[in-house]
């Protein structure tokens, strides 16, 4: 038998429910992830390599590889993977608002890749998906930065048919 009066039981149950709701409720705060991309291939035979991303996805830490992917619906700019000599900072591909938490991977789905060789535009098929692993906490009302250093196989741009093979060389997070 519980030796305390009934009103104390009601308060105890109410406090217990509030603690459980706060502990088990999903995070509703937002943060920002800034995605930067920098191409490591120097200007040479290929003057420019323009790419655009159709979709970005971030993987929530702690979920399996098939679950926990968050789609970002932000429009991304067309970026050039051949850096200009005066370009000190990598281009920002996206800076979406995202639920705060920890993220451990990114997938970038490319579309519409074009190389400029002299005055010739070369449409590239086989637009690949970039994927990189990292650990990035995104605090409430804060931000996290992801820098992807990428390179591509120049010889495949001149192959018949011309294709694009891109790989992430290094990932840095702040």
Is residue 140 in a domain?
A: yes
Q: Rounded to whole angstroms, how far apart are CA atoms 104 and 107?
A: 11
- Output the pLDDT for position 140: 86
Task: Tell me which of 20 and 95 has the higher pLDDT.
Answer: 95
- Output the pLDDT for position 76: 86
Q: Rounded to whole angstroms, how far apart are CA atoms 29 and 137?
A: 13
User: 121 pLDDT exceeds 80?
Assistant: yes
Is residue 7 in a domain?
A: no
Rounded-to-5 percentages of helix, strand, coil across the chain: 15, 50, 35
Q: Which two tokens stand for residue 95?
A: 């800076």
Is residue 146 in a domain?
A: yes
Is residue 161 in a domain?
A: yes
Q: Nearest-CA neighbor of 127 among 137, 114, 146?
A: 114
Is residue 1 in a domain?
A: no
Average pLDDT of 48-54? Answer: 91
Q: For the chain, what is the domain count?
A: 1
Is the peptide bond prior to 161 cis by the omega test (within 30 degrees of 0)?
A: yes
Q: Nearest-CA neighbor of 107 among 134, 81, 82, 125?
A: 134
Average pLDDT of 68-73? Answer: 91
| CB 43, CB 154: distance < 8 Å | no
Is residue 77 in a domain?
A: yes
Residue percentage of the chain with pLDDT more than 90:
41
Task: Tell me which of 85 and 29 has the higher pLDDT.
Answer: 29
Q: Rounded to whole angstroms, how far apart are CA atoms 152 and 150?
A: 7
- Output the pLDDT for position 111: 84
- Mean per-residue pLDDT of the chain: 88
Tell me: the pLDDT tens digits for 93-112? 899 999 888 999 999 998 87
Average pLDDT of 55-72? Answer: 92
Strands, E assignment, 15-100: 30-39, 48-60, 69-72, 79-80, 91-94, 97-99
**Residue 126: in which H helix or E strand, if any?**
none
Is residue 3 in a domain?
A: no
- Output the pLDDT for position 26: 65
SS3 (DSSP) at 144: strand
Q: Kindly indicate the confidence band of residue 2, based on its pLDDT and cuts at 50, 70 and 90.
A: low
Average pLDDT of 106-127? Answer: 88
Is residue 91 in a domain?
A: yes
Q: Residue 59 is part of which domain span? A: 29-173
Q: Nearest-CA neighbor of 174 among 150, 129, 128, 139?
A: 139
| CB 38, CB 150: distance < 8 Å | yes
Enumerate the β-bridge partners of residue 108.
Answer: 56, 130
Tell me: the pLDDT tens digits for 142-153? 999 999 999 988
The CATH number given to whatever domain includes residue 57 is 2.60.40
């Amino acid at each position: 038998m519980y030796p305390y009066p009934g009103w104390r039981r009601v308060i105890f149950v109410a406090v217990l429910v509030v603690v459980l709701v706060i502990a088990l409720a999903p995070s509703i705060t937002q943060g920002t992830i800034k995605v930067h991309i920098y191409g490591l291939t120097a200007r040479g035979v290929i003057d420019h390599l323009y790419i655009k991303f159709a979709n970005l996805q971030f993987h929530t830490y702690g979920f399996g590889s098939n679950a926990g992917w968050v789609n970002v619906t932000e429009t991304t700019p067309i970026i050039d993977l051949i850096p200009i000599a005066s370009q000190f900072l990598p281009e920002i591909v996206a800076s979406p608002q995202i639920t705060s938490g920890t993220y451990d991977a990114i997938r970038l789905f490319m579309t519409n890749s074009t190389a400029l060789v002299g005055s010739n535009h070369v449409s590239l098929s086989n637009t690949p998906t970039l994927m990189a692993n990292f650990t990035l906490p995104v605090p409430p009302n804060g931000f996290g930065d992801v820098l992807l250093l990428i390179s591509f196989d120049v010889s495949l741009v001149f192959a018949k048919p011309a294709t694009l093979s891109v790989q992430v060389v290094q990932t840095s997070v702040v």
